[in-house]
Amino acid sequence: MPPGYPPSGGYAPQQPPQAPPPQQPAPQAQPQQPPQAPPQPQQQYGYGQPQPFYPSPGGFGFQPEPPRKKRKALPWVLGGLGGLLVIAVVCVLGFITPGWFVSSVFDAGSVQKGVEQTLKDSYGIPGVSGVTCPDGQEVEPGNSFQCQVRVDGQDKTVTITVKNAEGVYEVGHPK
């Protein structure tokens, strides 16, 4: 058997000769420093020792995410603008011209004063008092309603007929 092989026939690594420990100089008076942790030996991997495992990208079911599709904002912007346009048109046509949502009504107090003045001044009827007209009468051409009047202590009825959409009305003779 060659030198350096064990008698069993297996391979035995040769140990390098050990050097004698270095001589340390005699301790001198130095300021005391806190003890430092000795450096940790680096872990070496060899035959029979566990080795770290680093999976490859895409392995074991891990796959990169597909790129997301960008949603375009243009359809949303155009839809929003279209909705605002529809709302604006409805508001203009409903409240301003021709005024589908707005109905004009007569102020009962103003009509009562107008009826009393017309009966006294235009028809020359003395003793007109206590004119009462119903509230909420619409200003619509052709619409007519009744007002109650006291003429010389007697209760009478006057018919009011709306002539146009601007609120011009006609006062009939008391009956």
Instruction: Kindly state the average pLDDT of the residues 144-149.
Output: 94
Percent above pLDDT 90 for the chain: 27
Q: Which residue has the higher pLDDT, 5 or 172?
A: 172
Q: Centre a 10 Å sphere on the Cβ of residue 131 and count the other Cβ atoms it contains.
A: 21
Please tell me which of 35-44, 69-78, 79-88, 96-105 the model is most confident about, judged by mean pLDDT: 79-88
Instruction: Report the predicted TM-score, pTM, of the whole model to 2 decimal places.
Output: 0.44
Q: For position 133, what pLDDT does the model report?
A: 93
Q: How confident is the model at residue 126 (pLDDT cuts 50, 70, 90)?
A: confident
Closest CA to 111 of 26, 59, 169: 169
Output the CA torsion 26→29→31→33 (10° steps).
20
Output the CA torsion 168→172→173→175 (10° steps).
-140
The pLDDT of residue 155 is above 90: yes
Tokens of 37: 């942790």
CB of 148 within 8 A of CB of 134?
no
Q: What's the burial of 106, exposed, middle or buried (CB within 10 Å: 0-12/13-18/19+)?
A: buried
Identity of residue 50: P
Q: Which of 17-31, 59-73, 92-106 has the lowest mean pLDDT?
A: 17-31
What separation in angstroms does the CA of 171 have from each of 129, 156, 158?
Answer: 15, 13, 7
How far is residue 95's CA from residue 104's CA, in Å, rounded to a whole number? 11
